[in-house]
Amino acid sequence: MNRKQPLVSVVIPNYNYGRALELCLRAALAQTYEPLEVLLIDDCSTDDSVAVAEACGVRVISTGVNSGVATTRNTGAAHARGEIIVFVDSDVAMEPDAVANAVALLDSDPRIGAVCGTYDAEPLIRDSLVEEYRCLHQFYWLAETEGRIGTLHTAICAMPARVFAEIGPFNPRLRHTEDGDYAARICRSYEVHSSTAVRGRHDHDDTWRVVLRKVFHRTRLHIPLYVRRGDLPGGIATGPRAGASVAALLALLTLPLGLIAPPWLLAPAALLAFTLLADTALHRFVLRRRGPLFAAYFAFTHTVVNAVIAAGAGVGVLQWLASRRFRRLYEPGEHLAPVRAAG
């Protein structure tokens, strides 16, 4: 006799993502797995998100006050009836078998406390070249780190409800790094696995301003966590990738020296070569998939993003040295008020 399948609660935190929300909800409702409930947790959106969800027949729960994604996920977990919770960002449309594959992986080993999904190589909504860059970059590094990981990707993330209750809620004080904080906590007791069998299409950020602002502040706000850990968690945050980011920033900073004396151009040229060679496999992947013209655009964009990551890390280190409150950002109980990114 087959064992009864556990109820899965798909919890979708949302704030003003009405544009992609219908695709997300319909993908959640079309999952091959049963039994399943879908909950939209709306963080007081000002667009048509609630109307979109209601038109899809999805239950909507409001946070009451705009509070950030950590509080929104916590609210969803509090209302979920399932034995397994699958958090899905409202700009991600899961493949039909994503939930079934996540449940199977959780069931395969009791040591696994969370299963994280990956992104497809194609965006959910195609808008801009910088979005194409983000899509291919994140597809590559998520697929590259398949298996046990030391971090948490919450765009698609499945975990037993008992594990969530044991580890506790996401820290509502954090606006950009709540997943990194949760990863540090859950990895003390359980394994976290990433799987390309749990996949979805993501409506990535589509403007330079949003992309650069996001990578800057996420890097800056991760610095106290990395210091507390004493290492980098892997994935996109590794020693070689950190070195490539520093080299990219130094290449841009030393470029003006060539205007003073042309021989000085050797310095930024060497630094640029280093940052490109550090991601040789990534650039080869993009070249094979999209051809030389887009590969050149990708390399330029990746260099700029790397430089901004290094700048964010530098500012984060300075904040860590100057601010006791910033150093205590990830200490237990430090969630009196949400930390908001500047700009």
DSSP string, 117-172: EEE-SS-SS---HHHHHHHHHHHHHHHHT-EEESS--TTEEEEEHHHHHHH----T
CB 270 within 8 A of CB 258: no
Tokens 């999952």 correspond to: 31
Residues across the chain: 343
From first to last of its 343 residues, what are the pLDDT tens digits of the chain?
Answer: 457 899 999 999 999 999 899 999 999 999 999 999 999 999 999 999 999 999 999 999 999 999 999 999 999 999 999 999 999 999 999 999 999 999 999 999 999 999 999 999 999 999 899 999 999 999 998 988 899 998 999 999 999 999 999 999 999 988 888 999 999 999 999 999 999 999 999 999 999 999 999 999 999 999 998 888 777 665 666 667 788 999 999 999 988 877 787 777 888 899 999 999 999 999 999 999 999 999 999 999 999 999 999 999 999 999 999 999 999 988 875 443 333 333 3
Identify which of 65, 27, 21 has the alpha carbon closest to the alpha carbon of residue 40.
21
Share of the chain above pLDDT 90, in %: 78
Distance CA 154, CA 88 (A): 7
Q: CA-based angle 10:12:17, to the nearest 5?
A: 150
- φ/ψ of residue 287, rounded to 5: -60, -45
Q: What is the dihedral of CA 285, 91, 116, 129, to 10 degrees?
A: 10
Write the CB contacts of 64 (distance below 8 Å, at least 6 apart in sequence).
44
Write the CB contacts of 320 (distance below 8 Å, at least 6 apart in sequence).
223, 224, 227, 326, 327
Residue-level pLDDT at 262: 79
Amino acid at 173: R
CB 163 within 8 A of CB 190: yes
Identify which of 100, 97, 79, 98 has the alpha carbon closest to the alpha carbon of residue 89.
98
CB 195 within 8 A of CB 146: yes
Quick one: residue 291, left, alpha or beta (phi over 0 = left, psi -120 to 50 = alpha)? left
Positive/negative CA dihedral, 119, 120, 124, 130: positive
Per-residue pLDDT tens digits for 250-297: 999 988 877 787 777 888 899 999 999 999 999 999 999 999 999 999
Any idea which architecture 6-203 has in CATH?
A: Alpha-Beta Complex (3.90)
Residue-level pLDDT at 270: 92
Domain with CATH 3.90.550.10 in the chain: 6-203
Q: What is the dihedral of CA 124, 128, 133, 135, to 10 degrees?
A: -10
Residue-level pLDDT at 65: 95
User: 264: which DSSP letter?
Assistant: G
